[in-house]
């Protein structure tokens, strides 16, 4: 179990106020947006803000690269690992 994966899952659930979803329900490699968790662009904004606050990241909204980082929990964890300032 990757502790950063769990931390990010908690962050997603908390910042998006997701009901009926526990960290164990989120597959680290499943898509967060569209078919997977079913998150949408408004959630992406909320999540981006939460990530910036927690890890001191800088995200460029809407860019293709950002979209790639948001693909799954695992992708987000890699991105956080490489870019975190706190």
Which stretches of the chain bind other proteins, using CB under 8 A? 17-22, 25, 35, 38, 40, 42-43, 46
Q: How far is the CB of 38 from other proteins (least distance, A)?
A: 6
Residue 9: is it exposed, middle or buried by C-beta count within 10 angstroms (0-12/13-18/19+)? buried
Classify 39 as helix, strand or coil. Answer: strand
Question: Which residue number, 25 or 78, has a Cβ lying nearer to other proteins?
Answer: 25
Q: How far is the CB of 48 from other proteins (least distance, A)?
A: 14
Residue 1: is it exposed, middle or buried by C-beta count within 10 angstroms (0-12/13-18/19+)? exposed
> Where does the chain have alpha helices with state H?
3-15, 41-55, 64-69, 73-83
Q: How far is the CB of 61 from other proteins (least distance, A)?
A: 16
Question: Which residue number, 43 or 79, has a Cβ lying nearer to other proteins?
Answer: 43
Question: Which residue number, 7 or 46, has a Cβ lying nearer to other proteins?
Answer: 46
């Amino acid at each position: 179990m990757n502790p950063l994966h769990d931390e990010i899952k908690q962050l997603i659930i908390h910042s998006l106020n997701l009901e009926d979803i526990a960290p164990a329900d989120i597959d680290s490699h499943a898509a967060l947006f569209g078919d997977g968790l079913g998150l949408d662009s408004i959630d992406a904004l909320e999540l981006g803000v939460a990530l910036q606050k927690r890890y001191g990241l800088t995200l460029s909204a809407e860019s293709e690269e950002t979209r790639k980082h948001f693909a799954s929990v695992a992708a987000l964890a890699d991105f956080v690992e490489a870019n975190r300032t706190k």
